[in-house]
Structure 1
């Protein structure tokens, strides 16, 4: 989502300045048209950190499930959200209230969801499909299953990340302990000795002394540099694209990222096609689920090729993004007229593969951190202990 500062004129020609959050400027134009606002200017706001509270996969899973159950039981749409509002958590309550107010004001369900700026374009498109087909309850069940699987995957990634994070913290604490506790002790001993120290030892002692004397300043500079780099990356699309391309080339990590992208895209595409959305619209919406501008642009190239009459499989293959197996399955499904079934099989395959890939990637990460920790400890031991042996030998 991007933030936009808009100067608009309402039906009474009264000038207003409003702040909106949408995925693109086109969505801002659509919002203005729906709400009978005349746009005078639209300016994208640059923010270092997003202030909008994003609904978690777990929140969305629960919300969709409850809406599906209430709709299936025959509840009226106007009273349904009032019921949900009473039992919602603090994050969901204002969102549900805004949806309820929108419906009571005469807006469509889709418009009421969209106006909250809390839901993705994929979600809004699914709601719109359900509303048009009078099949919103089943669409909500489908979305609930989708976000349930997404929440499970995120949970597994978090669980697998616990040990590497502990190792990182342990490494940082070990380095600080050596700088502030261990090396100063050796420094005190060596300062009273006439034995010549190794260059490595001298560098280690000088580095430790410099860091101890300027620790606050170093932390402050590091913080400012981090904020500056984040700001630079956030506001430079070419740089973000280059970083993303570089990460794709990193062993294990690149494979994991590609598999995750393919899984997200395939799941969204399957759900949209199953719900009756046209293929070109389904691909464009599914590309936004990946939430990376670089990937979106690449997939959009394939979509433009499909609009020109080329085959889906060939168009997706030409962008050199997705794995061969994905392209093959899509091509087979397209040729046989069973694309929906092919995508369902792809989703089942990648669910298991991602679990396995997550474990393998984290194992590599753990090994890397362990090696770094061992290297740091080894260098300190060599630099500080060998001169001690020389001192003993000189006695």
Structure 2
């Protein structure tokens, strides 16, 4: 449906700008009259699609604000209106779309869904809250969940930021050494030493000559490689390769297992506490997981549950989740306290993942320092060997 930008005047005389999504401009007038406002100016909105996706922090902010508003007893239209006033950029645009959808009579879950900016899980959780009449608790659970996801995402980014920085600095130092300093040293060296230079020094000098001679080609190749990587990383084949490595390389595999365990236990606990059947909950979880290889494992587990197999047995057959989680689920299925246990397990795996990321960072930093030290040390040794040789020949 087209969207119409409207400048409106409320009954108390306040002027506001609002976006109304309707089938036509005449229908827009009807909607405005129904909510007791007077249109001052209206025009059709032209959409320009280049905004980036909402992230976990945005979802946390939205859910937290909606939870606070629900606790305060504000109606949903007034809540979204306040969110529009205090937001900017892409979030403001999203809230304006939701506001116009709610004004046309859509339920909140459908209003969010029609923006095409919110994930499948988010929409389904709000739908559960609407059906159970417990939106306040749903917003609270969602805000906790997205806060943890954002926190973990940030920690993973921080863990990879240091290696990236070291790599860039190493390349910069290497280019400076081989392009400027070593050629100067080579000229001085051959003035004083006509004998054959040691092998390490020969390697460094030849490497310096190669980089100096072909630096334009090397830089062009690196830029081309970077551009190819940036373009290809969004293709299906590149994503498939990345997702495959994420569950095969030891460090990333452990992070993915723990992160998926956090998602699985947290989301399943929320869905079950909202009264969603276990088979439907697993189906929703399958749509939440982004990694296609993990998604396939979830689909097999969901099929097992639909055929009447217990959750613990279905998960044990896919051979991905930690054995401790399977054993605890098997025990709690018998006691009937599955939702509470899942919530506790979510907290446990969240803390375990946090600690694991910290340990990875602790090991990465000294490893990179040693690698750079060995590299720089070899160059220094190669430069010092002929100097010592000249010194010995003098004395």
Using the size of structure 2 for normalisation, the TM-score is 0.79
CA contact (8 A) 1:167 1:366 kept: no
Distance 1:247 1:92 in 2: 31
CA apart distance, 1:99:
0.4
Distance 2:241 2:327 in 1: 28
Distance 1:259 1:76 in 2: 39
Matched ranges for 1:164-313 at <5 A: 164-192=163-191, 193-237=193-237, 240-313=239-312
Aligned pair in 2 of structure 1 residues 232, 167: CA closer, same or farther (>3 Å)? closer
CA apart distance, 1:208:
1.9
Task: Tell me the SS of whatever aligns to 1:252.
Answer: helix
In structure 2, runs of 5+ residues without a counterpart are 2-22, 24-48
The higher radius of gyration belongs to 2
Number of residue equivalences: 347
Matched ranges for 1:41-52 at <5 A: 51-52=50-51
Instruction: Render the CA deviation track for 1:111-148: whole Å, top value 9, x for unaligned.
Output: 21012122111111111111222222221111112122
Distance 1:284 1:220 in 2: 48
Instruction: Render the CA deviation track for 1:191-222: whole Å, top value 9, x for unaligned.
Output: 33312123432332222233234334323222
Matched, 1:318 2:327: no
Distance 1:344 1:363 in 2: 29
Distance 2:287 2:183 in 1: 54
In structure 1, runs of 5+ residues without a counterpart are 1-9, 11-34, 36-49
CA apart distance, 1:258:
1.8
Distance 2:154 2:229 in 1: 29
Distance 1:161 1:319 in 2: 30
Instruction: Render the CA deviation track for 1:343-388: whole Å, top value 9, x for unaligned.
Output: 1121121122112101111112112211210121122123222122
CA apart distance, 1:281:
2.4
Distance 2:268 2:367 in 1: 36
CA contact (8 A) 2:301 2:314 kept: yes
Distance 1:73 1:103 in 2: 20
Matched ranges for 1:308-387 at <5 A: 308-387=307-386
CA contact (8 A) 1:302 1:318 kept: yes
Distance 1:127 1:212 in 2: 61
Distance 2:293 2:73 in 1: 43
CA contact (8 A) 1:253 1:361 kept: no
Aligned pair in 2 of structure 1 residues 144, 243: CA closer, same or farther (>3 Å)? closer
Distance 1:212 1:281 in 2: 63
Aligned to 1:109: 108
CA apart distance, 1:187:
1.6
CA apart distance, 1:155:
4.1
Instruction: Render the CA deviation track for 1:302-330: whole Å, top value 9, x for unaligned.
Output: 11121111111111111111111111122
Distance 2:173 2:77 in 1: 59
Task: Tell me the SS of whatever aligns to 2:275.
Answer: coil
CA apart distance, 1:162:
5.7
Task: Tell me the SS of whatever aligns to 2:343.
Answer: helix
Aligned to 1:32: none
Aligned to 2:43: none
Aligned pair in 2 of structure 1 residues 157, 228: CA closer, same or farther (>3 Å)? closer
Using the size of structure 1 for normalisation, the TM-score is 0.79
CA apart distance, 1:85:
0.7
> Which is further off, 50-59 or 89-98?
50-59
Distance 2:60 2:208 in 1: 51
Matched ranges for 1:86-105 at <5 A: 86-105=85-104
Task: Tell me the SS of whatever aligns to 2:89.
Answer: coil
Instruction: Render the CA deviation track for 1:275-307: whole Å, top value 9, x for unaligned.
Output: 222222222322343321221122111111211
CA contact (8 A) 1:287 1:300 kept: yes
Aligned pair in 2 of structure 1 residues 225, 116: CA closer, same or farther (>3 Å)? same
Distance 1:62 1:148 in 2: 9
Aligned pair in 2 of structure 1 residues 361, 51: CA closer, same or farther (>3 Å)? farther
Aligned to 1:30: none
CA apart distance, 1:164:
4.6
Distance 1:205 1:249 in 2: 40
Distance 1:236 1:86 in 2: 39
